[in-house]
Amino acid sequence: MKINEFIVEATGNNYLYYATSITMVSSILEKGLIKANRSPISGISSNAPTVKTSNSRRYIESNRYAKLDYEYNSAIIVLDRGLIANQYKIVNTNRYEEIILVPKGALPIRGKIKGFYFNIPNEHVEEYSKDPQFQSLLNSPYLLNSK
């Protein structure tokens, strides 16, 4: 499955990519927010809750990011980096990963989301195509996939 052409790959571009499962993307879209992680992150001195994102589409789609668990990054939410940076502090943790500090424990995505797309390995596409939740996401106005 391919992403729409308007999302261009470039490290540090105008987008942040958030990896999640297909199950979670439905909940995120419904609630309009991404829950933050409360566990400490190495190299960050703040105690604020955080949301881990990437500035690289290729990196977040990769097995390096997903740590070989394809379900972990089966859906990628694309966020407007500029809008988020105007409201929240963003910390670089390495070349491709960026952490958003969200003091209230969640990142509201309304007005900041460009959309989402599927990142399903070819060998699992048939398995997902039978999933009712996957089927319902195919009708989402936020879906960026093109066939």
Of 22-26, 30-34, 54-58, 114-118, which has the strongest mean pLDDT? 30-34
Number of other CB atoms surrounding residue 89 within 10 Å: 14
Residue 105 structure tokens? 């424990």
pLDDT value at residue 10: 42
The region of weakest confidence among 53-57, 62-66, 89-93, 102-106 is 62-66
In the block, residue with structure tokens 């609630």: 31
Residue 121 structure tokens? 């390995």
Dist CA 23 CA 134 (whole Å): 8
Per-position b or e across 23-36, b if 16+ CB within 10 A of its CB: ebbbebbeeebbeb
- CATH number of the structural domain 10-134: 3.20.170
Which ranges constitute the DSSP H helices of 8-123? 22-31, 57-61, 63-66, 81-87
Phi-psi region of 116 (alpha: psi -120 to 50; beta: other; left: phi over 0): beta
Residue 62 has pLDDT above 90, yes or no: no
**pLDDT grade for 67, boundaries at 50, 70 and 90:** low
Dist CA 95 CA 90 (whole Å): 13
